Structure 1
């Protein structure tokens, strides 16, 4: 696999001298914590200089948080602010469901006295962030024997289900956001129909995010426990009560501690393969599938076995296409904040 040159992103302002040696503050906003960082542009790259983490709910607005970051590090001459948000961005505004406040680029400009503010969907930012990574940040899940350059699919199960893509224009890759995680889940087998009805009683409309996320992982688990009558071990009850379910159930499977842990992870991997299959086919992503987000990183040992790949290539007519799709796990936890900075600096 090639290094950074593999991701020749469409960054039309990267050669402009006015974008060299400028300060960019980038943010990756999440429901519990927000990551903020200062980057300086140099030689067509963004270089990290300072970074900090803040509790999201402790601030009345994003602007207040940025101003705190600037004050904490005694920063000055900020040229641009990049804001990666967990939701759709329309017309420079966003109202993410998991955040305590709305975001408006014009308000942030006014409240921070920074002239250029860019809001970007977090998974679109993650797609840009691939251009900031090198080979060491990727784990190969499947290497294609007949690779064809083309569109790239990005799938990220975490607190929610993020999906984005990079369009191959024949010369450059152009990242764009989707809200595909909110498309409706469709069962295939009799047991999946049971699972669907279980979720329908809870949510009404059942989306893929209800299956492929931290809450989705718990939904799979409690379906196996409550409907399929799998026993919940005492040690896991304590972990659930302590709010440590995701890490505990994954560790339980890795250590082969209890049947229900293994069943939960195996089921999650099958669903992950199913949605990855659908995303790749819709995008005709011959350039590859990139899995990112906290859950795939925790499951990297499982992704290397046959269960994920065998379910990924299942199709009525498209197995020939799917078997030639390269698949990678993104291990870099800073793709979102790095990508947002890159987008603001040069796009």
Structure 2
């Protein structure tokens, strides 16, 4: 399976193409672009995706801005990003848009110990809510709510 992913922010856009067998993934290509030098995510994707890359099975983009019905009006860029349009133009069967801080919140559990810095040690088997606050071009927050 080939997965296209992107971190779309007001300052930079980082795209990566992964090959996954369901348990492990490897990066096939990765590149960072200046967001403000492009008029759309489609423009960045046209530059990133080359003819020698395999077709993508699924794509997920974390965007700085609210997502409603597969559409994002980015917060710090004049971009309108629509999952349906990306799917059609690039022939990707499934395209998902999520808020960039939501993407960060989901990925916290995947980080290796070396990438974490403990501010206040807690209980090793604690269950409960998680939150993330991120300062970048804007200030974002996300939460994961534990429901048992």
TM beyond 0.5 = yes
Query: Aligned partners of 1:91 and 1:45: how far apart in 2?
Result: 30
CA contact (8 A) 2:130 2:144 kept: yes
Distance 1:114 1:58 in 2: 25
What does 1:275-290 align with in structure 2 at a 5 Å threshold? none
Partner of 2:129: 151
Match of residue 13, structure 2, among 34, 49, 67: 34
Q: How far apart, CA to CA, are the structure 1 residues paired with 2:98 and 2:25?
A: 17
CA distance in structure 2 between the aligned counterparts of 1:55 and 1:120, rounded to whole angstroms: 20
The alpha-carbon deviation at position 149 of structure 1 amounts to 1.3
| Alignment check: 8 A CA contact 1:83 1:118 kept | yes
Taking the aligned partners of 2:90 and 2:22, their CA distance within structure 1 comes to 27
- Contact 2:17-2:28 within 8 A present in 1 as well: yes
- In the alignment, structure 2 segments of 5+ residues that lack a partner are none
Which stretches in structure 1 are left out of the alignment for 5+ residues? Answer: 1-21, 171-347
Distance in 2 of aligned mates of 1:76 and 1:67: 14
Alignment pair present for 1:76 and 2:49: no
The structure in which a higher percent of residues are strand is: 2
Q: Is the 8 A contact 1:123 1:162 kept in 2?
A: yes
1:50 CA drift (Å): 1.6
Shift of 1:147: 6.5
Structure 1 position 144, deviation (Å):
2.5
Deviations 1:285-328 (A, max 9, x none): xxxxxxxxxxxxxxxxxxxxxxxxxxxxxxxxxxxxxxxxxxxx
Checking the alignment, whether the CA contact within 8 Å between 1:70 and 1:76 is kept in structure 2 is: no
Q: How far did residue 27 of structure 1 move? A: 0.8
Which has more radius of gyration?
1
Tell whether 2:103 aligns with 1:125.
Answer: yes
How many residues end up aligned between the 2 structures? 148
Q: State the distance in 1 between where 2:70 and 2:35 align.
A: 20
Describe the shift of the 1:45–1:162 C-alpha distance in structure 2 as closer, same or farther (beyond 3 A). farther
Give 1:54 deviation, angstroms.
1.2
Cα displacement (A) at 1:145: 5.8
CA RMSD of aligned residues (A): 1.9
Q: Using the TM superposition, give the Cα deviation of residue 146 of structure 1 relative to its aligned residue in structure 2, in angstroms.
A: 8.6
Partner of 2:79: 101
Normalising by structure 1, report the TM-score.
0.40
Change (3 A) 1:24 1:130: same
Equivalent residues in 2 for 1:40-189 (5 A)? 40-71=19-50, 74-144=52-122, 148-170=126-148
The normalised TM-score by structure 2 is 0.89
